[in-house]
Amino acid sequence: MSRFFWVRHGPTHAKSMVGWTDLPADLSDTAQIARLDAHLPQDALIVSSDLARARDTANAITGRRTRLPDDPALREINFGAWEMAQFDTAPHPELLRAFWETPGDLSAPEGESWNMIQTRVSTAAAALLAAHPGRDIIAVAHMGAILTQVQTALGIGAYEAFGHRIDNLSVTSLRHDGSRWHADAINHLP
C-alpha cells in the first residue's frame, strides 16, 4: 500500500487565475506550517511542483524527510490567455464559463484543458508510485493538480471534482491499495 499526502502550497493572495505564473507563497503563518509538518509522516518522501509557491512550501516542511527533485508535471493548470486574469475580466467569457461548467477537452486559448492536466498529473503520480512502491509520498502542488487526483480516487467527473474545496496548506490523503486509489481525507487542515 502507498499513501500520497497532497498538500496545497501556501497562499499567494492573488485574486486571479494563477496557473504557471511563478508567484511566491506567503509562509508567514509558522504555526500553521508547524501543524502541517507534524501531521505528515516523518519518513515520507517529499516532492513538489517546480513553481516557487509549491517548492518553497515543500522546503518549509521537508525537515529530515528525503526531498525528491521538483516535478514540473505537478504544476497548476496552464490558463494560457486567462493567466492572471480575474474571472469577470478574462477574455472569451463564454469559453471561460464553459471551461468551468463542462470541464474536459475545452481549454483556454494557448492553455490546457482539464483532460490535459488530469493526464499530466496522473502520469506523474503513477511514475512516483512505480519508483517508490509502498512508500508514503508528500506531494506539494496546486488546487487543480490535487483535484485531478481527487477525481481519480473518487471515480467522479471533473465537474464534481470542482465541487471540492482545496484550501492553502491543506492535506488531501489518498491511498493506493495496489489496484486503485481511495480517498482517506480531502482538504484536511491540521
2-78+121-188 folds as Rossmann fold (3.40.50)
What would the mean pLDDT of 154-172 be, rounded to a whole number? 96
59-101 pLDDT per residue, tens: 999 999 999 999 999 999 999 999 999 988 888 889 999 999 9
120-136 pLDDT per residue, tens: 999 999 999 999 999 99
**pLDDT band at residue 19 under the 50/70/90 scheme:** very high
Tell me, what DSSP letter sits at residue 6? Answer: E
Beta bridge partners of 138: 5, 46
Report the alpha-carbon distance of residue 140 to residue 84 in Å, rounded. 21
Q: Where are the domains of the chain?
A: 2-78+121-188
165-190 pLDDT per residue, tens: 999 999 999 999 989 999 999 999 99
The pTM for the full model equals 0.96
